[in-house]
Chains A and B, each alone.
Chain A
Amino acid sequence: MALQDSGALEAAGLPARRLEADSRRYGEKAIKVFLTLCAVLSVITTTAIVVSLLGPAIGFFREVPLTEFFGSTQWFPSQAFFGVLPLVVGTLNVVLWSMVFAIPIGLGAAIYLSEYAPRRVRKVVKPMLEVLAGIPTVAIGFFGFYFLIPLLRDIWPGRFLGGPPGAFMAGAAALCVGLMIVPIITSISEDAMSSVPAGLREGAYALGASKMRVALRVVVPAALSGIVASVVLGISRAIGETMIVLMVAGNRPNISMNPVEIVQAMTSYIGVTATGDIATGTVEYQTIFAVGVLLFAMTLVMNLISIRFVRRFREVYE
Chain B
Amino acid sequence: MSTDLNRTSGRVKFAAGGARSATLASLERQPGGQVLRNRLFLGLLVIAVSIAMVGLAAILIDAFIKGQGRLSFDLLTKSTSANAERAGFREAIVGTAYLMGLVVLMTVPVGVSAAIYLEEYARRDRWWNRLIELNIQNLAAVPAIIYGILGLAFIARGPIGIGTVLFAGAITLTLLVLPTVIIASREAVRAVPPSIREGSLALGATQWQTIWRQVLPAATPGILTGVILAVSRALGEAAPLLLLGASTFVTFLPNLFEGGFTALPVLIYNYARRAQEGMPEVAAAGIIIMLAVLLLMNSFAIWLRNRFEQKW
Contacts and interface: CB of A to CB of B under 8 A. Distances in A.
A152 interface: no
A146 interface: yes
A16 interface: no
Given A31-B208, A36-B121, A136 B134 contact: no
A140 interface: yes
B265 to A, nearest CB: 5
Nearest to B42: A116
A24 B23 CA distance: 73
A267 B240 CA distance: 11
A68 B295 CA distance: 48
Interface stretch (A194-202, A253-261, A296-304): A296-304
B114 interface: yes
Interface stretch (A7-15, A80-88, A105-113, A158-166): A105-113
B232 interface: yes
- B contact residues, range: 35 or more
B269 interface: yes
Contact of A105 (B51, B152, B208): B51
B18 interface: no
Nearest to A292: B149
A46 to B, nearest CB: 6
A236 to B, nearest CB: 5
Most buried by A among B56, B60, B194: B56
Nearest to A21: B206
Interface residues of A, number: 95
Interface in B17-31: 27, 30
A108 B42 CA distance: 9
Interface in A231-248: 233, 236-237, 239-243, 246-247
Interface string B174-201: 0100110010000000000010010001
A307 B239 contact: no
A57 B284 CA distance: 38
Given A125-B53, A139-B63, A303 B141 contact: yes
B59 A140 contact: yes
A243 B269 contact: yes
Interface stretch (B3-11, B75-83, B251-259, B286-294): B286-294
A35 B116 contact: yes
Interface in B226-274: 229, 232-233, 235-239, 242-243, 245, 247, 265, 268-269, 272-273
Interface of B: 27, 30, 34, 37-38, 41-42, 44-49, 51-53, 55-60, 62-63, 66, 109-111, 113-114, 116-118, 120-123, 131-132, 134-139, 141-150, 152-154, 157-158, 175, 178-179, 182, 194, 197, 201, 206-208, 210, 229, 232-233, 235-239, 242-243, 245, 247, 265, 268-269, 272-273, 280, 283-284, 287, 290-291, 294-295, 298, 302
Given A36-B121, A267-B143, 20 more contacts: A3-B201, A39-B118, A42-B135, A42-B178, A46-B138, A132-B56, A135-B294, A136-B291, A137-B236, A142-B284, A143-B58, A146-B272, A146-B284, A179-B56, A241-B143, A243-B238, A243-B239, A296-B143, A296-B146, A299-B146
19 contacts: A2-B207, A34-B113, A49-B146, A109-B48, A116-B45, A129-B52, A135-B291, A136-B235, A136-B287, A138-B268, A139-B63, A145-B272, A146-B272, A241-B143, A242-B145, A246-B269, A275-B243, A280-B157, A307-B138
- Listed from nearest, the 6 A-B pairs whose CB atoms lie closest are A240-B143, A136-B236, A108-B48, A38-B113, A52-B153, A242-B239
